[in-house]
Structure 1
């Protein structure tokens, strides 16, 4: 599935992987979320509910541009820098264009919807 993120008036495309977490996230769309910075590597937001982690690895090593769910806290993580391996982190998508990753660093709000 392809997504369209709107960040600061700019459109950013992303693709979801074929996982239970990605399918569960897609079922929540469209979403508008307020973002906060976390550890200088990611923007995070609370989700309306926890997502399925069926079949997910115990840990993931996030890269810039990854869309992820942090199961222990139940939040969305949008990585604008490479992160560290994290237990409970489930990567379920990625930004399509590497040039768009920098937009995440200062984003305060994001609108996420299916691409049409």
Structure 2
């Protein structure tokens, strides 16, 4: 499969993950009144499991010679970089643009997810699902 196809599939899986993530973020923020950064971490954790399974068997088929557990650990570690980028973007929106009020947290969260996507793709492809 070409890198372009892999990236496309990775983004489709990511889109589904974003839906799961945002649902968790909105419920956590609107009903439990949690801090936006904590909501982002909770959404990330739930979407991470979903995305790992779909990426392992659909986005990067045939590239997983590691055991499932080892591949999962590398995937989790590689996605930490994307989460850090996401949290930095959210922090910038909260502290610089003061955009956490109302539904502004949704925009800051989606912006953070978008910023972390490339980091997540590179980590998934070269750490979690590579042939070594």
Q: Which structure ranks higher in relative contact order (CA pairs < 8 Å, sequence separation ≥ 6)?
A: 1
TM-score by length of 2: 0.26
Higher fraction of helix: 2
Normalised TM-score (structure 1): 0.28
Rg (Cα) greater in structure: 2
Q: Which one has the bigger strand percentage?
A: 1
